Amino acid sequence: MGKCNCIEEKTDQVKKYLIEGKNFKKEIVGVQMENVAMTFGKAGSRTFSKVLIELSGQKKKEEIRIFNSYCPFCGTKAES
C-alpha cells in the first residue's frame, strides 16, 4: 500500500492474540496473512481479494484475484 504498514501491524496483532489466547496445544511459530500480494518497486505491498467463479457444467471453480486500490485497514491509497 502507499505508505502504510498495516499488513505487518495486523499480522503481529493476530499473532499476539493467538499466543495470548492459548487456543493451541503446540507453540505458534509463525502467522501469515492470506490474500496479501507483494509487488516490487515503489508500489510496496498490496492486498487482493480472491474471487471464485462457478461456471455452468464445470465442477472446479475458477479463481481470480482483484488487487485493492486502498488498504482495507487504514484506507491509504496504493501507489501506482
Model pLDDT for residues 37-58, shown as the tens digit of each residue? 666 666 566 778 888 888 888 8
Distance between CA atoms of residues 65 and 26, nearest Å: 33
The helix (run of H) or strand (run of E) holding residue 16 is helix 6-21
Domain boundaries, the chain: 6-67
Record the pTM: 0.58
Average pLDDT, the chain: 79
Note the maximum CA span of the chain: 47
Closest C-alpha to 43, from 66, 69, 72: 69
Model pLDDT for residues 57-69, shown as the tens digit of each residue? 888 888 888 888 8
